[in-house]
Amino acid sequence: MPIFLNLVAGLFFLTLAILGLLSGSFITFLLHIIFGLTGSAILLGLAHTIIGQDWIMSQIYKVEEKGPKEFIPCPQCGKKFESDRKNCPFCAYRP
């Protein structure tokens, strides 16, 4: 999907640049270039976001594979925290 969006962004910019050249007016050419760059930037940003979401989902699945964490109660405040922590995140008690 991101590769497809990259290709569409490139073709979008190229098409608008050619249309701007064929218009015959310098101002119209500049407007086509500006719109082409803006649209391409949006599509490339979308492709980058999709890649980032795929990476985030892969990290979530890695965490889920490790299984649930064990919680222990704090002797000082009584709130539960993860057993692999060195101190209580609520009251800073060190067991």
> How is residue 68 written in tokens?
């649930």
Q: What is the mean pLDDT of residues 32-37?
A: 88
| Residue 57: per-residue pLDDT | 84
Does pTM top 0.75 for this prediction? no
Q: End-to-end distance of the chain based on CA atoms, in angstroms?
A: 50
Question: Which of 9-18, 35-44, 54-63 has the weakest average pLDDT?
Answer: 54-63
Looking up tokens 């490139």 gives: 10
